[in-house]
Structure 1
Amino acid sequence: MAKAIDVAKFFIEIVANNPNEDAMTNLRLNKLLYFAQAGSISSLGYTLIEEDFEAWDLGPVVKSVYKTFKEYGRNGIVNQSFDRQALTKEEQLYLLDVLRKYSTMSTSSLVNKSHEKGTPWYEVYYSTGDKIIPKYRITEYYEHIEIVDKFTLPFTEKDFVGTRDESNHLVLPQECDYAE
């Protein structure tokens, strides 16, 4: 599992280096962290973020991440140095997919999406007692919901001609082999 601050810094760095992205505010960052956690079970096979999320008024929040960037208020968070070794390549690619899907949504839309009736945030926020959103609730709710679009090639096996030999080299049928 990854530390929430490492995932947060990854998101901040990517957005800071892309002039077409909206500013990464603390509110937006925490919603992206939540959706990254939500989809990690189906995409990675494990929960990505080790810290718990809390059910706050404006949606799920990792308290330590909120406190780290609280000084920015509603302003965009400036680029943070990120240690690429903190996340695996597979995790980084997954997080890029999360950004790709959710970067087109406004921050208020992300808040609304996290507030939908029946979501783990909704169930915890409107219950009495502890405001920690248990990981198992996030896992159970989102395990069959596609959080990020699965990348697929627009081709099928039938679109290709030829076979692979024992060395895994492509062997074309004689009628398609124009090399000779």
Structure 2
Amino acid sequence: MSYPAKVIANAFLEKAQKTGEQLTPMKLQKLIYYAHGWYLAIQGKPLIDEYLEAWNYGPVVNSVYIEFRCFGSAPITKLATQYDQVRAQYIVPMPFEHDHELHNLVDSIWQNYGQYSALELSEMTHYKGAPWDTVKSDNPTMRNVQIPNEVIESYFSDLLRPVHAV
């Protein structure tokens, strides 16, 4: 089951709040990217129900960008919202309450990537051969090109494979 990207965003925002950390929009985007990538590699299916796009500073989920662009490079001080057509109002999409596997993934991404700054995470997404680099190299004059899940899954799956000495 894929989740709306804003649900995953809120999971990281809640994690940051619990640990007394602050998240900028750029750092949040990169954490979502890494969670999505590792989930694809481990589960073989997408974590989020949207595509990532190759923007200048790395992978971006457009709906999360739109939600938090008002913060610029400042820390985010609210949770993401989405319109609930049944209730005819905006609600805060809450993280996956009963999916312990997903909680573990968010915890793991937070532990492994949360220590890096937004700029460091952005630089990491630009590594040669990474999904962002692959898409930008294939489409040098285009902006905001979709990064196919197959490219992301292949890259992160390769990272899972043990390196064998020759």
Query: Is the pair's TM-score, using the shorter chain for normalization, greater than 0.5?
Result: yes
Alpha-carbon distance in 2 for matches of 1:86, 1:49: 16
Seq. identity, %: 29
With normalisation by structure 2, the TM-score equals 0.79
Amino acid at match of 1:7: I
Matched, 1:14 2:19: no
- Structure 1 residues 32-91: Cα deviation after superposition (integer angstroms, max 9, x where no partner): 111111111333342211200000000000001000011111111114255244672211
For 1:164-179, what aligned pairs fall within 5 Å after superposition? none
- For residue 125 of structure 1, what is the aligned residue in structure 2? 136
- TM-score (normalizing by structure 1): 0.74
Give unpaired runs (5+ residues) of structure 1. 147-180
Counterpart residue number, 1:92: 103
State how far apart, in whole Å, the 2-side matches of 1:58 and 1:86 are.
Answer: 32
Say whether residues 1:27 and 2:21 are aligned partners: no
Q: Could you say which structure has the greater relative contact order, defined with CA pairs below 8 angstroms and 6 or more residues apart?
A: 2
Query: Aligned residue pairs: how many?
Result: 144
2:37 — aligned with what?
Answer: 38
* Equivalent pair of 2:40/2:152 in contact (CA under 8 Å): no
Distance (whole Å) between structure 2 residues aligned to residue 97 and residue 36 of structure 1: 9
Work out the CA distance in 2 between the residues paired with 1:78 and 1:27: 14
Equivalent residue letter for 2:148: P
Contact 1:16–1:78 (CA under 8 A) maintained in structure 2: no
Q: Give the aligned CA root-mean-square deviation in angstroms.
A: 1.8
Alignment of 1:54-133 (within 5 A): 54-80=53-79, 81=92, 83-85=94-96, 88-128=99-139, 129=142, 131-133=145-147
